[in-house]
Homo-oligomer: A and B are copies of this chain.
Amino acid sequence: MAGHATVRRDDDVATLWLSNPGRLNAFDKPQWHGLAAAVAAVTADPSLRVVVLRGEGGAFSPGADISEFESERDTPERAQAYGELMDATMEALRDCPHPTVAAIDGPCCGIGLAVALACDLRICTRRSRFGVPVSRLGISMALPELKLLFDVAGRTATLEILLEGRVFGADLAHHMRLVNRIVADDGLEAELAATCTRIAEGAPLAARWHKAFVRRVADPAPLSAAEIAECYRCFATEDYREGYRAFLDKRKPVFRGR
């Protein structure tokens, strides 16, 4: 039995389900290929408003499938080739134009945590568990994944996670900014639905621009005149006219993504 990932669509929300039964959705090569295909599919569909990433069977993912290490990652060259598959998938997830939400329950560790960090928002249950204990396996986290962690958690938390190698609970994950919020163990569906509704109530082009702009301002290079001009294009959209008119009319806007 190998891992895989499936896409299920419900109205304008697509859910990507990680699945590796009996292994808590540990990432093996088939699951990476499945996730890459799923991300490509949702990226290509402009009608979506939200993409959710979650795991089947009460787990997000405990990380890499260690049983593959001897066969797939036994030399630096093979480890790098495998790493490039992982990083291309996570980069595609991070660059997905739609807002992405990781819904975390149970273990969310190692490369599983990195995948969650490639999403825009992260909601977890109280019983969820986090960490990157790769130094116990004798290896370091690769630079692109470590950058995902650093960009979210900052210097102090990143060093703590990697040097101590602990697996820890939701409160510390929240303090470290690894998750946006914690819900009761039986509250994930309700909060996830409410979050998707809030996101879907915004204009979809605004969400795309906001994602692109957050990437841009992470670079300290000064903003060019062309970049600043570009960020006012939203004022030429139909959705802008709908938005302020609905506000002035005290009604809910209906955005069409154009």
Residues of A within 8 A of B (CB): 66-67, 69-70, 73-80, 83, 99, 120-122, 133-144, 146-147, 150-152, 154-160, 162-166, 177, 180, 195, 198-199, 201-203, 205-207, 209-211, 213-214, 216-220, 223, 227-229, 231-237, 239-244, 247-248, 253, 255
State the number of copies, please.
3
Nearest chain B CB to A36 CB, angstrom units: 18
* Contact present for A165 and B231 (CB under 8 Å): no
Which of B76, B142, B155, B158 makes the CB contact (< 8 A) with A236?
Answer: B76
Task: Give the complex CA separation of A18 and B139 in angstroms.
Answer: 34
* Contact present for B155 and A234 (CB under 8 Å): no
Nearest chain B CB to A86 CB, angstrom units: 12
Closest to A68 in B: B244
* Contact present for A248 and B214 (CB under 8 Å): no
Which of B77, B155, B158, B214 makes the CB contact (< 8 A) with A158?
Answer: B214
Task: Give the complex CA separation of A157 and B153 in angstroms.
Answer: 11
Interface of A (DSSP majority class): helix
Which of B67, B83, B242 makes the CB contact (< 8 A) with A232?
Answer: B83
Given A141-B213, A156-B177, A232-B83, do A135 and B202 touch, yes or no (CB 8 Å)? yes
* Contact present for B235 and A76 (CB under 8 Å): yes
Closest to A215 in B: B155
